[in-house]
Amino acid sequence: MSAGRGGLYRSRLEEMDEEALSYLSSLAEDQEILLEDIEGTEAHVIMLCEQGIIPRDDAAKILLALEELREKVLQGELRLEGGYEDVHELIESKVIEKLGIEVGGKLHTGRSRNDQVALDIRLRIRRLLLELWRAALKLAEELLSRAEKELETPMIHYTHLQHAQIGYVSQYLLAHLDHLLRDIERMESCYRRTNKSPLGACAVAGSTLPLNRELVARLLGFDGVVENSVDAVSSRDFALEALSAAAIMMTNLSRIAEDIIIWSTSEFGYLELPDSLASPSSIMPHKKNPCILELLRAKTAKVIGLLAGSLALMKGIPTGYDRDLQEGKPMIWEALKETRSSLMMMAKTIRLVRFNADRLREAVEQSYAPAIELTEALMKHAGLSLREAHKLVGYMVKLLHEQGRALKTLKPEELSAAASRVLGKSIIVPPEILERAIEPAEIMRQRMTLGSASPQEIRRMLEKRREALNQAWARLREVENNLLLARQFFEESLEKIAKK
Ligand code: ARG
């Protein structure tokens, strides 16, 4: 058996050109699926033995050899080198080196690298999705506890980055929590579609051997099989879905990052990053730069690019396995890992950022944003139509702005005088009504609509989200528990054949 240079599979072919092999080989990037590959192979061999396709003695030897390799991987002792096409050829070659071709040569029975690599990818994405899921839930926890802490810290909500309406920091945080909870739902449902076993599809159309596909699926903790063998080896939509979910989530994180970057400027001064998450300048001693958040913004661009690259890779390849698919694997790992670390960075940021309540309150007090509530008060208490009130309040804001006065300083007589001028009618607005319509704290208590920036609505939403988050944690725990149970079944099945 010639080690390497694609030797294992070249029964028909002469030796491969060295440069061509290095162009072709995925060995280096297969580090990511090394453990998955061994685990999948073990499950396959257990099944071959249980089905009587290979003798128990041979299966035992193969399984022990695989366990030895797994141990080496865990010790960091297995080097991915030696001119193999990929991890699949390397692992099989190592087993054959140890046991000889008569015994070791049975390991790949009934399997193709096509269903094998599809399996490895599903196993790896599954692990990454679980990590992402957990990291996202941790960020959700931070958003929720921070919202509880900042329940009545006022802030201006923006549209077009111009003052829009006044509200609370807590509601801003809850908005992103809701977005994140949907991101988590997307990951969950993607997990459920990813968690199906393609093994047993063989090259593309199945096998004449009595392979037990369900058993392999059970051993590896999958919720069933990808039934159609052509679908099983051809499809990567689960990966595209994971990438899309990651890109959508990153896009949201990037917007939070952008908000924090803007609000931490001296011009806004709404919040301050902790030193532990800020960067200095090599020349400007005063600097406190939000580099982590800028990088998060950039990594979002990268993840979007990796999604676009993966979609482009998929769109033109013929049905079945094509080697193009090999190039898609590193894009998936990279995108999901960048997303995972970004989630962790954002969780730290949300926990440690300091909101400057005084500055936020001052901005709210000075803002013309309550103009909308004043408009509503004029409709309710002075019998004006929306358009009349809009004209009147717009006129008032223009005037106050020219005089450098805040909306809060508006007097009832000024309003009445303006009504005669602008609308040609006289209105009476009782002073206490006007006061309530332009006083920020009062305004927020008067908000009546579901999900609005009122303390009572935010409190209600907080409670509901706490409940939703608890349920989301419970679903993750259930999935993790299923995997643990499957792992026990796997280990028992392996022990039964290959006593160590
Ligand atoms: N290294 C390949 C990949 O990553 C494994 C599958 C190769 N299959 C094949 N029929 N050549 O996709």
What is the separation of C-alpha 122 from the centre of its chain, rounded to a whole number of angstroms?
17
Q: Tell me: the pLDDT tens digits for 296-307?
A: 999 999 999 999
321 lines ligand 1 (CB under 6 A): yes
pLDDT at 263 over 80: yes
In a domain? residue 263? yes
Residue of 25, 86, 333 with the most ligand 1 atoms within 8 Å of its CB, for mutation: 86
Q: What DSSP string runs through 14-40?
A: -PPPHHHHHHH--TTGGGGGHHHHHHH
Tell me: do 31 and 135 sit in the same domain: no
Annotation says 160 is catalytic = yes
Tell me: do 139 and 231 sit in the same domain: yes
In a domain? residue 339? yes
Strand locations in 101-240 (E): 154-159, 162-168
Tell me: do 350 and 241 sit in the same domain: yes
84 lines ligand 1 (CB under 6 A): no
Q: Whose CA is nearest to atom 1 of ligand 1?
A: 86
Tell me: do 269 and 297 sit in the same domain: yes
Tell me: do 302 and 189 sit in the same domain: yes
In a domain? residue 218? no
Could you tell me the CATH number of the domain that includes residue 401? 1.10.40
List residues bridging with 156 in a β-sheet. Answer: 166
Distance 223 CA to ligand 1 centre (A): 24
Tell me: do 127 and 32 sit in the same domain: no
117 lines ligand 1 (CB under 6 A): yes
- To the nearest whole percent, how much of the chain has pLDDT over 70? 99
In the chain, the number of structural domains is 3
Distance 86 CA to ligand 1 centre (A): 8
pLDDT at 4 over 60: no
Q: What is the pLDDT of residue 500?
A: 66
- To the nearest whole percent, how much of the chain has pLDDT over 90? 97
**Residue 1: band (very low, low, confident or very high) from pLDDT cuts 50, 70, 90:** very low
Residue of 80, 111, 113, 324 with the most ligand 1 atoms within 8 Å of its CB, for mutation: 113
In a domain? residue 446? no
Q: How far apart are CA 65 and CA 91, in angstroms?
A: 10
Distance 43 CA to ligand 1 centre (A): 19
Domain extent at residue 49: 18-109
Tell me: do 95 and 238 sit in the same domain: no
**Residue 7: band (very low, low, confident or very high) from pLDDT cuts 50, 70, 90:** confident
Nearest atom (ligand 1) to Cα of 26: 1
Tell me: do 105 and 127 sit in the same domain: no
pLDDT at 5 over 60: no
Q: Tell me: the pLDDT tens digits for 457-498?
A: 999 999 999 999 999 999 999 999 999 999 999 999 999 999
Q: What DSSP string runs through 102-135?
A: HHHTTTTTT--HHHHHHHHHHHHHHHHHHHHHHH
Q: Whose CA is nearest to atom 11 of ligand 1?
A: 323
Q: Tell me: the pLDDT tens digits for 426-460?
A: 999 999 999 999 999 999 999 999 999 999 999 99
Contact 37, 30 (CB under 8 A): yes
In a domain? residue 492? no
Tell me: do 233 and 333 sit in the same domain: yes
Tell me: do 313 and 385 sit in the same domain: no
Could you tell me the CATH number of the domain that includes residue 77? 1.10.275.10
Contact 172, 144 (CB under 8 A): no
What is the separation of C-alpha 248 from the centre of its chain, rounded to a whole number of angstroms?
7
Tell me: do 247 and 376 sit in the same domain: no
In a domain? residue 114? no
Q: How far apart are CA 478 and CA 307, in angstroms?
A: 29
In a domain? residue 161? no
Q: What DSSP string runs through 406-429?
A: -GGG--HHHHHHHHHHHHSS----
Active-site annotation holder among 281, 341, 385, 426:
281
Nearest atom (ligand 1) to Cα of 329: 4
pLDDT at 259 over 90: yes
Helix axis angle for 386-403 and 412-423, nearest 10°, is: 120
Contact 145, 116 (CB under 8 A): no
Q: Tell me the average pLDDT across 247-270.
A: 98
Token output for 68: 């030895």
| Dihedral angle computed from the Cα positions of residues 285, 287, 293 and 297, in that order, rounded to the nearest 10 degrees | -100
Tell me: do 179 and 93 sit in the same domain: no
In a domain? residue 182? yes
Residue type, 424: G
Q: Name the nearest CA neighbour of 218 among 61, 46, 60, 56.
A: 46
Q: How many CB atoms lie under 10 A from the CB of residue 419?
A: 24
Q: Write 300-303 long-range contacts (CB < 8 A, 24+).
A: 300/247, 300/250, 300/251, 300/253, 300/254, 300/342, 302/334, 302/335, 302/338, 303/243, 303/246, 303/247, 303/250, 303/335, 303/338, 303/339
Residue of 30, 89, 117 with the most ligand 1 atoms within 8 Å of its CB, for mutation: 117
Q: Tell me the average pLDDT across 68-95.
A: 96
**Residue 2: band (very low, low, confident or very high) from pLDDT cuts 50, 70, 90:** very low
